[in-house]
């Protein structure tokens, strides 16, 4: 079940709100927990048991870390809990690719490959484990007190609104609202509007561009236009898919009385690669900074160690995304190198880069890096890079020409307009006629209704970050 499915929109969500609103305030975390488990179990009851096991482990682990009798062993206990969570994540994400890499090397050496049944990746596992680790570390640091109520803690880690693809919530952000929140019309209406905006981003732009992206990245011999159209379409698809999910999750949370932090802040308008990571997937960037980069020493231990820390944290961030091949590790390394280069340029008093050129270079790097992120294997990524450099001819191939439809062009232009609109001066919007400004204020409802009609006609498309 996904947010953009008919089951969710017409059955699950209305039933949840009816039960949630009718329940006494003290029962609402229990209602949220129960429906969140139903939401997750709809995909796989077997993996629901794994999910519940992880909740029990981190809840009990937090209680042990907060116990006075455990203070002597708290660091070892924390290390063990992190190791268990990280091992579960590594198994489900990289067992397949490690075995496949070993089997390929064995075949090259003349040996027989291993017999292996592929391991399925549970949806949302990466986000669940990062939240559990952040909670355990914060309890160890004394930043939060351990939650003694299993229902309240389970509701925090299980909230169906952001369970599958974030934002990555820290316990301290929602601690007070878990204990005391209320349903009110203002929050509900603003949250519903945000949910409709996110759904429009996902269905009208991301899902419409999906066939173009799939075609471009499956071409055996792409040309220059094929490669750049695929790169541009995927850059738009990924942003509107993931930012759309985040908007829907934030909206659902606000409808229930939670106020989640923003997860995107116009990342394609970033002035540098550092600025990009302050704007893209903000909850992950903050997690990497506070739970990886800073504990490794950050920039406090000298220049060489700073570059090492940047490379390690971005490599881990890349591996966190991936499960099918080593491309995600390469993507993380590329961003690590870019961050190191940007830092070296700034610290060595190099001449400043004009703002427009810095923004253009950042966007170009980010979009080209998405190629290796999206490509099914390294050979496909190399083929697309060669085509982008004009080494495979300039014309568009027949496959992409046949697949390209007016709706795809409209979605691309709509996406570009939404990305560039924040860069326009405020006075541009203030000069619009009052009737036009009023129409713009109502567009989320129109977008939601059109999105619903498209879902009915073509079905729901899974969110891209479900695979991460």
321 has catalytic annotation: yes
385: left (phi over 0), alpha (psi -120 to 50) or beta: alpha
| 427-432-436 Cα angle (round to 5) | 145
pLDDT confidence bin for 163, thresholds 50/70/90: confident
Q: What pLDDT sits at residue 192?
A: 93
**Cβ pair 48, 166 in contact under 8 A:** no
Q: What pLDDT sits at residue 363?
A: 95
pLDDT surpasses 70 at 468: no
Q: What pLDDT sits at residue 399?
A: 86
pLDDT in tens, 256-292: 999 999 999 999 999 999 999 999 999 999 999 999 9
Over range 125-143, report the average pLDDT: 93
Q: What's phi and psi for 391, nearest 5 deg?
A: -90, 0
Over range 56-72, report the average pLDDT: 86
Over range 451-462, report the average pLDDT: 84
Counting other chains too, the contacts that 255-259 makes at CB distance below 8 Å and 24 or more residues apart are 255/17, 255/187, 255/188, 255/191, 255/192, 255/195, 256/20, 256/32, 256/161, 256/181, 256/183, 256/191, 257/177, 257/181, 257/182, 257/183, 257/184, 257/187, 258/159, 258/161, 258/174, 258/177, 258/181, 259/177
Report the C-alpha gap between 10 and 448 in whole angstroms.
13
Q: What's phi and psi for 359, nearest 5 deg?
A: -65, -45
The rounded mean pLDDT for the chain is: 88
Q: What pLDDT sits at residue 72?
A: 78
**Pick the catalytic residue: 104, 281, 321, 335?**
321
Report the C-alpha gap between 66 and 383 in whole angstroms.
53
pLDDT in tens, 283-328: 999 999 999 999 999 888 888 999 999 999 999 999 888 766 788 9
Q: What pLDDT sits at residue 69?
A: 63
pLDDT in tens, 326-349: 889 999 999 999 999 999 988 887
pLDDT surpasses 80 at 423: no
Report the C-alpha gap between 377 and 101 in whole angstroms.
12
pLDDT surpasses 70 at 467: no
Over range 428-442, report the average pLDDT: 71
| 372-247-143 Cα angle (round to 5) | 90
pLDDT surpasses 70 at 466: no
**Cβ pair 369, 332 in contact under 8 A:** no
DSSP assignment of 321-349: H-SSSSHHHHHHHHHHHHHHHHHHHHHTT
Over range 200-210, report the average pLDDT: 91
- 406 class by beta-carbon count within 10 Å (0-12 exposed, 13-18 middle, 19+ buried): exposed
Q: What pLDDT sits at residue 109?
A: 75
pTM for the whole thing?
0.91
Q: What pLDDT sits at residue 98?
A: 79
- 399 class by beta-carbon count within 10 Å (0-12 exposed, 13-18 middle, 19+ buried): middle
pLDDT in tens, 116-130: 778 788 888 888 999
The pLDDT > 70 percentage for the chain reads 97
pLDDT surpasses 90 at 380: yes
The most confident of 101-110, 154-163, 307-316, by mean pLDDT: 307-316
- Domain segments of the chain: what residues? 6-181, 188-467
**Cβ pair 8, 2 in contact under 8 A:** yes
Which H or E run contains 237?
helix 224-256
pLDDT in tens, 221-247: 899 999 999 999 999 999 999 999 999
pLDDT surpasses 90 at 366: yes
pLDDT surpasses 70 at 77: yes
| 240-243-246 Cα angle (round to 5) | 145
Lowest-pLDDT range, 234-243, 398-407, 458-467? 458-467
Lowest-pLDDT range, 351-355, 387-391, 421-425? 421-425
Q: What pLDDT sits at residue 323?
A: 64
Q: What pLDDT sits at residue 124?
A: 83
Q: What pLDDT sits at residue 162?
A: 83
Q: What pLDDT sits at residue 367?
A: 96
Report the C-alpha gap between 468 and 447 in whole angstroms.
27
- 195 class by beta-carbon count within 10 Å (0-12 exposed, 13-18 middle, 19+ buried): buried
């Amino acid at each position: 079940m996904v947010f953009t499915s008919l089951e969710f929109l017409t059955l699950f969500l209305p039933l949840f709100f009816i039960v949630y609103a009718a329940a006494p305030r003290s029962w609402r975390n229990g209602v949220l927990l129960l429906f969140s488990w139903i939401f997750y179990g709809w995909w796989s009851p077997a993996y629901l048991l794994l999910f519940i096991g992880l909740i029990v482990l981190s809840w009990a682990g937090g209680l042990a870390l907060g116990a006075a009798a455990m203070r002597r062993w708290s660091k070892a206990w924390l290390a063990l809990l992190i190791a268990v969570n990280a091992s579960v994540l590594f198994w489900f994400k990289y067992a397949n690719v490690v075995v496949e890499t070993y089997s390929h090397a064995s075949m090259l050496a003349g040996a027989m490959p291993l017999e292996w049944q592929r391991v399925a990746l549970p949806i949302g596992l990466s986000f669940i484990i990062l939240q559990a680790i952040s909670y355990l570390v914060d309890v160890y640091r004394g930043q939060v007190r351990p939650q003694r109520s299993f229902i309240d803690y389970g509701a925090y880690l299980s909230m169906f609104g952001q369970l599958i693809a974030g934002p990555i919530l820290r316990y301290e952000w929602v601690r007070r609202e878990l204990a005391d929140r209320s349903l009110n019309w203002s929050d509900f209406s603003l949250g519903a509007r945000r949910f409709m905006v996110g759904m429009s981003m996902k269905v009208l732009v991301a899902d419409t561009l999906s066939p173009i992206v799939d075609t471009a990245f499956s071409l055996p011999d792409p040309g220059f236009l094929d490669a750049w159209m695929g790169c541009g379409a995927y850059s738009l698809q990924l942003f509107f898919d993931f930012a759309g999910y985040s908007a829907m999750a934030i909206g659902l949370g606000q409808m229930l009385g939670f106020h989640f932090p923003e997860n995107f802040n116009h990342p394609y308008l970033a002035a540098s690669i550092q600025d990009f990571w302050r704007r893209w997937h903000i909850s992950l960037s903050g997690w990497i900074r506070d739970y990886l980069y800073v504990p490794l020493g950050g920039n406090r231990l000298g220049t060489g160690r700073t570059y090492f820390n940047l490379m390690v944290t971005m490599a881990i961030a890349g591996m966190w995304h991936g499960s099918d091949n080593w491309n995600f590790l390469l993507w993380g390394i590329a961003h690590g190198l870019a961050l190191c280069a940007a830092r070296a340029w700034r610290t060595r008093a190099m001449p400043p880069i004009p703002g427009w050129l810095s923004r253009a270079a950042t966007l170009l790097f980010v979009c080209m890096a998405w190629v290796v992120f999206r490509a099914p294997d390294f050979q496909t990524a190399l083929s697309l890079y060669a085509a982008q450099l004009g080494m495979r001819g300039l014309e568009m191939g027949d496959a992409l020409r046949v697949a390209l439809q007016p709706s795809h062009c409209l979605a691309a232009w709509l996406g570009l307009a939404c990305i560039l609109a924040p860069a326009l001066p405020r006075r541009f919007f203030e000069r619009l006629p009052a009737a036009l400004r009023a129409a713009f204020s109502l567009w989320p409802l129109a977008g939601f209704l059109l999105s619903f009609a498209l879902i009915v006609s073509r079905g729901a498309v899974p969110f891209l970050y479900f695979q991460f």
